[in-house]
Every structure is written in C-alpha cells, then in structure tokens.
Structure 1
Amino acid sequence: MAEYRDRYISDDLVAHGAVKDLQIEGERVALSLRFGFPLAGYRDTLIQALKAHLAPVVKNLDIRIDFDVAPHVVKTGAKPLPGVKNIIAIASGKGGVGKSTTAVNLALALQKEGATVGILDADIYGPSQPIMLGKAGAHPESKDQKSIEPVLSHGVQSMSIGYLVDPDQAMVWRGPMVSQALQQLLNDTRWRDLDYLIVDLPPGTGDVQLTLSQKVPLTAAIIVTTPQDIALADAIKGVAMFKKVDVPVLGVIENMAMHICSNCGHQEPVFGQGGGEKLAAQYGVEMLGALPLDIRIRQQADGGAPSVAAEPEGDIAGIYRDIARRIGAKLSFEAKNYAAMGPSISIVSE
C-alpha cells in the first residue's frame, strides 16, 4: 500500500491517512479506506486498481471505501455559515469565458460524486443559474417569513436573485446595494447540510468579489479562463486578488480549450493553446482541467439540463467529474476546522 500512488492524492495511501482498517484472516484481507472528498464515480476504478496492485501478494481482497467531507478553516474573523461546510467561489477576470456554465456543471459533478451541494448565483445584474438549472420562473418558499428555502434542481440546492425578481426587470443598483443583496441571499437561505456551496461570481474584481472575500467564510476559489491572451490577462488579476485577501486558489480551469467540429469531429485550438497551464505555472497553482468548445455544453445548459445532468456518463461530464474530484481532493489537504465537524456521508462498496 505504501507504494501505491493515486491520481488524486499527492502521497501514498498510508501517508495520506486513507487506510482506516486492515484485517487479515487466513488468506482473506479486508481493507477499509476513507477519503476526504467524494469519489463515487471513481470508486470501482480505484478498487480494481488496488486489487491489481496487490494481486501478487493478496489473492482474496475485500475493499471498503467511504468518504467524509470535513469543514475547512476560513480566513480569520469569518463565521461559519450554518448548514454549510465549505464555500468555493468560481471566478473569472472577464465575462464570456463560460464561468457560469462551469460553475453549475461542477456543482452537479460534486453531487454525482456523492456530496451534498448547493449553488449560489452571485451575479446580481445577470443571473443565469435559474435558466441553466431548468428553474426559470421558480419562486422559493419562506416558511417563517424570515428565511427562504433553496430551490432544488437535479439534486442540487440553489439560490439566485433571478428567483426573486421579474426576469425582465433590470437591476439598476449601485455597488453597496448589490453587496447587501448578495449577503442576504447567502445568509437568509436555509441551506441544508451542504458539503460544498459553489458560488458563481460575476466577472471581474469589483464589489461583489471583495464582499465575498472579506465578509463571507470563503474556503477557496477557482479561476476559469480561456486560452485567449486577453482572457488570461484578466484571469491573472483574479488570481492576484484572492491571494491578496488570503483566500486559497485551488487552481485554474481552462474553458473552450479545443473546438470540436460537430460534423467531422476535427479539433482546433481556435482561442490558442496552453494559456491555462502558463497561468497556473506562473502563480504556482494547479491546472485542474480543460473543457472543449463543444456545442452540446451550450445547448444542454440553455435547455435547463447542463452536461453533467443531461449525460452523466458522457465524455464531457467525465471531464467535469474528474475536475470535481481534483477540487475535492485538493481542498481535503487544507487545514480542517474541527470545531465545525458534523455527520459524515459515506459511499460503501460491499
């Protein structure tokens, strides 16, 4: 076991602390593993890899895998949000890079991997999550006239200003009003036992980003960009902003990395190549993954069933789910907030 290296963790399983129990009865060996991130879609692959790795010395191997997502430490002075273990901001330096589509698919991917997930649409001026979640026109309930219930879609809890106002109404608000609205959406929603709350930020580094960084118990951030030079120039500002306010940046996701022709399947890097990797290397963060420029991603999101919900076992969903596991794994290495520990969620292989 000490020699086995998994793709999602930096140490071997023993050093990582994943081995929780090992029992040997004659030729039968029972191994119990526990990870700090959800991995439902990877469980069977990992079990088969471990059995193959140990086959020369163990013939009868029974492997049990579960996971426990822990709350992680946030910056000093920020109080934990009731019902939420970890808050992850999805940000971009500029608009048009597919940040909201990435955010909703990552939320769905984490849910498919076994976690309890919510998504907060923090783009007050241009909320898009109600449409992408297939809940345009939905109105959240309030059981006590003080708080609001999240809207459930595809197994994910969500909240957006788009649920509370006329979709044709323009939000003509100044910065302080937008920041106050964001805090109310976040704090007045009765989130139910979330492992992760994904926050879909508006583009840029303005009032909403600063409010979230300074007044919200933000666990980490992820930057979405495209390979295009102008998008990378703005993404650099996003990375720098989060570092300046002491919010860990888990990594960079490169969207629209490769155009795939829907007729012939030809692939072409229409926005350039390698930009996300250069950005990640420059700032010492991880390149979490790259998404193609594929018409299905747009069509499925516009239709209210993003790729991970529409085709959970498809190739595009597979990329999102791989990135989601990487995010969960990287976050699990951060310092834990033991004071906020709650009940665990498990995936068991019998």
Structure 2
Amino acid sequence: MTELDRYSQLVFAIAGPQATGLKVDAGAVSMMLDVSEMTTDERVQIEAKLRNACEQAGAQSVRIMLTAERVAPRIIAVASGKGGVGKSTLSTNLAVAMKLAGRSVGLVDADIYGPSQPRLMGAENSRPEAEGKKLIPVMGAGEVPFLSMGQLAKPGQAIAWRGPMAGNALSQLVDAHWGKVRDIIVDMPPGTGDIQLSMIQKHKPMGAVIISTPQDLALMDATRAIGFFDTAKVPIIGLVENMAGYVCPHCGEMSNPFGTGGAEAAAVELGIPFLGRIPLDIDIRLASDAGTPPALGNGPIARAYADIARHVIDWIDSPKAPTA
C-alpha cells in the first residue's frame, strides 16, 4: 500500500466523499473539504479529526482547504386563495411526512401576519440563533428544522408591517443556514398580495401545492391561487381537499358539512393532479394544538398525509419538475 493510499483510507473513513484532492508530498498532506452540507460544529469537529488523524499517521504538516459549493434548497409553496382552509396544518404535516419518507426537508412559516408554525411544530418557546447575518433554524416536531416570524416576535404581538418590510422578513427566513436541507416547505399566507409576489420574484418556488375545502366558495379562491402561480410560471404540483367528510365518533355515520369531492372535480376540470383528501377530524385539531403533528402517528390520518407527501416527492423527483 502506498503512502497516498494509506492516507486516502484514513481520510475517507472520517470525511467520506466530502474530502477530495488529497495530496501527500514528503510528509506534507493537503486536501479539500466540502463543508456546504455541514453545520459549524460539524465542520470544526471533522476538520480537527482529519488533522489529528493525519498527524498521528506521521504527517509533518496538514493543510485543509474548505470549500462550500452549496446547492440552494428547492422551495415548495403550500398556498390557498383564502384563510381558514387548513394550509398551515397541511404544511406542517407535509414536511413531517416527507421527513419520515427519508427526505432532507425544512419548513418556513411565510404567513408573516398570522404565524402558527411554532405551535404546530411543538416549539413555541424556541428562538433561533444567528450565525453571521443568517438565522439558524430551530428543530421542531419530527426532527424537521423550521423558521417562523412567530419565533422572532413577542408572544401575542401584532405584526403591523407594510409589504416591503414583510418581504424582507420572509427573505431572512428563507435565506437561512439550512445545512443539509434539500427541500423547504413554505407555508404561504392566504391570498395573492405583496408577500406572495416577493416570494415568487426572489425565491422562485419549484412548485406549488394548493389546498381547498370542498365547497364552491373555497374552490373559487383556490382557482384564483392556481391562476396566480400559473401567471408567475410556477408549476402546480396538485390540489389537496381538506375537511373532506366527518365521521361521528359516537354513531360512526359519515357526514359532509362542506360537501364532498369538489376539489377532486376541480382538479380534473383544471387539468392538475389531485393529491388526496384530509377528513374533518377532531384528532387533527387536538394533535395540532399539542404540537404533535398527526403525520407522526400510525392511523388513517397519518396515512393520508403520507400519501400526499409521496405524490409531492414523486413530482419533485420526476423529469417534468424544474431543475433549477
């Protein structure tokens, strides 16, 4: 075994493919270390391990050049044309379900004026730290890192900002230290105003998931949201129907207070995929208020979120999805 081979095995055992360009010359060892997918603590630890291991193996000097060829995370917007249809709950559980499916995923609460993700993610008392001028996401339920304006404002404080200020705040949440996160679910505010325009213009989502309840008025607003993303040339991943039927816990009878099948019919009419439906179930409300997303469970509700997540993942990985 040559000296280069010996050091190669040693370096690979510590840093894997992140260490490249290894050279050994008269006791001087040099290499490049890609730190773009590492946190600061990980970088410091791996760099120290590499240096110590090489010195113990006989290196007279060790030079480690740090590189950061970071790949920007892909943004998936979850949107609706109106409030009160369950968009934030879907965003939370979609992110958790994608994480459970093995994706490297994060969550941004872009609903600047009504942030709810800290409660939904079970981290109401958490506050993000900063490194340099960038925020470090907080770990939430299901080991999903997330950021929300609700973490930066005082509890119960009304956020009365004009569009440009809100847009700048959103940029701070998106342009954070996401580390190994590859997909970011963005919980959009309802409507098609300044925040949505800022998001699309500056952070160009890879695609959008639209959520609606079954009744006609909600579908009209969802159709407007679809038109908004179409105009901005953001692909529609599909439509989700929320509050789709209620099973009485006492008699087991199914009722449909908001109608049924409207979103699926609208998806067919609009020529977009139908991703699935979520029932109107008190367990979703109880789990959400407790900061334990129902996607973490094993019942039919968790399976419904898992099915939607699988559709989204398949779309992201498909040839028809944008590559940049």
TM over 0.5: yes
The aligned runs of 1:64-79 (5 Å cut-off) are none
Q: Which residue of 2 aligns with 1:183?
A: 171
**Aligned: 1:114 with 2:102:** yes
Q: Which residue of 1 aligns with 2:33?
A: none
Contact 2:134/2:172 (8 A) holds in 1: no
The aligned runs of 1:245-324 (5 Å cut-off) are 245-309=232-296, 311=297, 313-324=298-309
**Aligned: 1:220 with 2:207:** yes
Q: Select the residue among 119, 123, 135 that pairs with 2:123.
A: 135
SS for the counterpart of 1:298 is: helix
> Structure 1 residues 336, 98: closer, same or farther in 2, change over 3 A?
closer
Q: Which has the higher helix share?
A: 2
**Aligned: 1:238 with 2:225:** yes
In terms of Rg, which structure is larger?
2
Displacement of 1:273 in angstroms is 1.6
Unaligned 5+ runs, structure 1 = 1-80, 341-350
> Structure 1 residues 328, 250: closer, same or farther in 2, change over 3 A?
same
Question: Which deviations, in whole Å up to 9, do the C-alpha atoms of 1:296-347 show, x marking residues without a partner?
Answer: 00110110011012x1x22100010011011111222245777x8xxxxxxx
SS for the counterpart of 1:273 is: coil
SS for the counterpart of 2:190 is: coil
The aligned runs of 1:144-155 (5 Å cut-off) are 144=132, 146-153=133-140, 154-155=142-143
Task: Tell me, in whole angstroms, the C-alpha distance in 1 between the residues paired with 2:322 and 2:98.
Answer: 21
Displacement of 1:264 in angstroms is 2.4
SS for the counterpart of 1:198 is: strand
Q: Select the residue among 65, 88, 91 that pairs with 2:79.
A: 91
Displacement of 1:262 in angstroms is 2.1
Unaligned 5+ runs, structure 2 = 1-68
Corresponding letter in the other structure for 1:192: G
Task: Tell me, in whole angstroms, the C-alpha distance in 2 between the residues paired with 1:132 and 1:82.
Answer: 30
The aligned runs of 1:11-22 (5 Å cut-off) are none
Question: Which deviations, in whole Å up to 9, do the C-alpha atoms of 1:241-278 show, x marking residues without a partner?
Answer: 10011000010000001112122222111101221012
* CA root-mean-square deviation: 1.6
Task: Tell me, in whole angstroms, the C-alpha distance in 2 between the residues paired with 1:82 and 1:280.
Answer: 36
Q: Select the residue among 114, 119, 124 that pairs with 1:126.
A: 114
Question: Could you tell me the TM-score, scaled by structure 2's length?
Answer: 0.76
Q: Which residue of 2 aligns with 1:327?
A: 312
> Structure 1 residues 278, 337: closer, same or farther in 2, change over 3 A?
closer
SS for the counterpart of 2:196 is: helix
Displacement of 1:112 in angstroms is 0.4
**Aligned: 1:168 with 2:156:** yes
Structure ranking higher on relative contact order (CA contacts 8 Å, 6+ apart)? 1
SS for the counterpart of 1:115 is: coil
Corresponding letter in the other structure for 1:231: A
Task: Tell me, in whole angstroms, the C-alpha distance in 2 between the residues paired with 1:140 and 1:228.
Answer: 39
Task: Tell me, in whole angstroms, the C-alpha distance in 1 between the residues paired with 2:275 and 2:283.
Answer: 21
SS for the counterpart of 1:89 is: strand
Question: Which deviations, in whole Å up to 9, do the C-alpha atoms of 1:200-231 show, x marking residues without a partner?
Answer: 00111111111111211310001000001110
Contact 2:76/2:208 (8 A) holds in 1: yes
Identity rate, percent: 45
Task: Tell me, in whole angstroms, the C-alpha distance in 1 between the residues paired with 2:70 and 2:80.
Answer: 27
Deviant stretches of 4+, over 3 Å: 81-85, 334-338
